[in-house]
Amino acid sequence: MMNLIPLLGLPSFRSRAVSCAVVAVALWVGSVHAAEPQRGSVMVQKVPEVNAKSYLLIDAGSGKVLAEKNSDETLPPASLTKIMTSFVAATELAAGRVQPTDRVEVSVKAWKMGGSKMFIREGTEVPFEDLMKGVIIQSGNDASVAIAEHVAGDEAAFADMMNQLAKDIGMTQSNFANASGLPNEDHYTTARDLATLTQTLIERFPEHYELYSQKSFRFNDIDQPNRNRLLWRDKTVDGVKTGHTNAAGYCLVSSALRNGQRLISVVMGTASDEARMKESQKLLSYGFRNFETRRIYDANVLLKNAELWFGEAGTVELGIEEDLYVTIPRGAYDMVTADMNLPELIEAPLTKGESIGELRLTLGGEVISRTPLVTLAAAAEAGFFNRMWQRVVLFFQDLISGD
């Protein structure tokens, strides 16, 4: 069931614009800041000090940014790269171009990779699904190269796939030169892009994402723990990935799910493994303590029968195409108001899914959400004489109203 905010009363018959008065409340909306308490206000605590070069905290449901610093600064991602490596692999699996049971022959290049390793051996064949675990759980550079070569033929071609997918999902400030995250001057991303990637990964491939919560993986008689130690510290954390090089510092993308609300935190450039966990915990705790996300309206549900001119029917059904989520300060839900902004005239014919105005949510005098209203069904045009009669009605109505 959706958490329905009643739509405010709409102006009378065939109004030129539909709007409403907003409820004035002293309330945080927009940039996070500290303020003096006022009667009827909802307070949000100040963002804690986070010791990192760059960070970003978002709500995964609504995409709202809850805290950030230097989130668009391009930085080396180290093994955070492997989130994209696994995303490409999951995309190929979903398309059926590779199979979990594919036997992947390990090349000399994959076997010789330095840094963190899955410990695969040259000339052996390893199931693709095991390589995926090696990438995600063990952070294996060798497994990353093996996957890249199996999917694309070589690592350079795989990097091209990474960059194309990054562009497709809206990662605007990233470039990948390899599958592992080893240092390269042409290999970079941002906290914002990594949050976008993680949000998309969780949404598109929830079963694949479950691998990120596994605490260890045994391969070649070697047990290796997941490097994301938040999995042990916080039972609500179920991912995502650590990264470290001298250039990148200690990085962590983390995600937690509490009472149906999911947050994603990206922390880049901290001083130690302990620091990346501590700073990530600060952000997650701040987000869950101060904000909540509600599903306000469901997709494809009738929100209004709007009056229609020149159609066979006198009204057209309006709704929204996707479920509408909004992230607001805790305790502010009852202060949110909703209204529709519709055009002066809605005229037939209309196709299903055609955009007609917008649905707006307002909090504290500020619009916090704008969502297109669309037709839920087609609206056919009336016959010639019916249209002519409606034009006469419209003419006299305009005379009466003074237009």
Residue 41: per-residue pLDDT: 57
Fold of 54-270: Beta-lactamase (3.40.710)
* Catalytic pick among 54, 62, 71, 139: 139
Q: What is the pLDDT of residue 5?
A: 66
Is 355 a known active-site residue?
no
pLDDT at 30 over 60: no
Domain boundaries, the chain: 1-48+293-403, 54-270
Whether residue 186 has pLDDT greater than 90: yes
3-state secondary structure string across the chain: CCCCCCECCCCCCCCCCCCCCCCCCCECCCCCCCCCCCCCCECCCCCCCCCCCEEEEEECCCCCEEEEECCCCCECCHHHHHHHHHHHHHHHHHHCCCCCCCEEECCHHHHHCCCCCCCCCCCCEEEHHHHHHHHHCCCCHHHHHHHHHHHHCCHHHHHHHHHHHHHHCCCCCCECCCCCCCCCCCCEECHHHHHHHHHHHHHHCHHHHHHHHCCEEEECCEEEECCCCHHHHCCCEEEEEEEEECCCEEEEEEEEEECCEEEEEEEEEECCHHHHHHHHHHHHHHHHHHEEEEEEECCCCCCEEEECECECCCEEEEECCCCEEEEEECCCHHHCEEEEECCCCCECCECCCCEEEEEEEEECCEEEEEEEEEECCCECECCHHHHHHHHHHHHHHHHHHCC
Q: What is the mean pLDDT of the chain?
A: 89
The predicted structure's pLDDT at residue 18: 29
Task: Write down the pLDDT at residue 6.
Answer: 65
Q: Which of 54, 62, 71, 79 is catalytic?
A: 79
Choices 3.40.1280.10, 2.60.410.10, 2.40.100.10, 3.40.50.300: CATH for 1-48+293-403: 2.60.410.10
- Give percent of the chain with pLDDT exceeding 70: 88
pLDDT in tens, 384-396: 877 788 787 777 7
Residue 298: its pLDDT value, please?
95
pLDDT tens digits, 266-302: 999 999 999 999 999 999 999 999 999 999 999 999 9
The answer to whether 280 is a known catalytic residue is: no
Which residue is catalytic, options 64, 82, 133, 282?
A: 82
The pLDDT confidence band at residue 7, using thresholds 50, 70 and 90, is: low
Catalytic annotation present for 139? yes
